[in-house]
Amino acid sequence: MDHLTTWENVALPLRVMGRNESDYADDVTDLLHWVGLGNRIHAYPETLSGGEKQRAAIARAVIGRPELLLADEPTGNVDPAMGDRLLRLFVELNRLGTSVIIATHDYGLMEQLEAPRLMLQEGQLQVGAPQITAR
């Protein structure tokens, strides 16, 4: 939302849920630091880069610990190190009970996970077994 700061945008789902700001203020700030936006907390969307907007959107999507998270190309506008960091966030959310579905063209990213895969190849949906590569 263009009229809200990064912090306010990420906090919005919790505010809509009726939670008290004092109960979630530290969580929002910590998550913004985790996604690399600690120095952009008071920035408005128009001043953020595409990658920063994407990370703010991811933070807003996960702050309320949803039951289901659909992530479409979540690492498309970030550097590899931040991509790995976001992937760890999704893994942790899954460990805490959130079902996470990631749509991506980044096979290297997905090779880091031991997770079921659905692949669309030549118009056909295929189930793929997870493959783990050493890091």
Residue 47 sits at the vertex; the CA angle it makes with 46 and 50, to the nearest 5 degrees, is: 80
Q: Indicate the length of the chain as a whole number.
A: 135
Residue 103, classed as helix, strand or coil, is strand
pLDDT at 135 over 50: no
pLDDT at 105 over 80: yes
pLDDT tens for residues 59-80? 999 999 899 999 998 888 888 8
Superfamily of domain 66-135: P-loop containing nucleotide triphosphate hydrolases (3.40.50.300)
> For the chain, which residues make up each domain, given as ranges?
1-64, 66-135
pTM, rounded to two decimals: 0.79
